[in-house]
Amino acid sequence: MTTHYTYRITWSAEDNAHVGLCAEFPSLSWLASTPAKALAGIQRLVRTCIADIQATGETPPAPLADRTYSGKFMVRVPPATHRALALQAAEEGVSLNRLVSARLANDAM
């Protein structure tokens, strides 16, 4: 199950090491001299945490990759932002939903 979690390896100039991270366990990290060692380390640490969580009768977080998403979510913005976005959408001749969707897609990439 730990292989379904979302892992990321990044470089830390401050630590002069590769850092292994897991999105589903944001408080965990693992420093290592190589990306492969950072990945192996964070995967071991996640397995240990899952075992600890299960030992207490709790359920570990579901992997992001195994979750389903509806494609809908609600976000609150200040009224001035709402107005500015609605105006921009009208000027571009698109719906507010399409405008915001496109902006989010661009920022996510």
Residues 13 and 43 in one domain: yes
Please say if the pLDDT value at position 2 is more than 80.
Answer: no
Measure the CA–CA gap between 6 and 42, rounded to whole angstroms: 11
Condensed to tens digits (0 to 9), the pLDDT of residues 19-63 reads 999 999 999 999 999 999 999 999 999 999 999 999 999 999 999
Residues 10 and 28 in one domain: yes
Q: Is the pTM of this model over 0.75?
A: no
pLDDT of residue 106: 86
Closest by CA position to 19, among listed 6, 2, 4, 38: 38
**How long is the chain?**
109
Condensed to tens digits (0 to 9), the pLDDT of residues 48-102 reads 999 999 999 999 999 999 999 898 989 999 999 999 999 999 999 999 999 999 9
Domain of residue 93, residue span: 69-108
As for how many domains the chain has, the answer is: 2
Residues 46 and 99 in one domain: no
Asked which of 49, 64, 79 is the last residue of a domain, the reply is 64
Residues 51 and 104 in one domain: no
| Ramachandran category for residue 71: left, alpha or beta (phi over 0 → left; psi -120 to 50 → alpha) | left
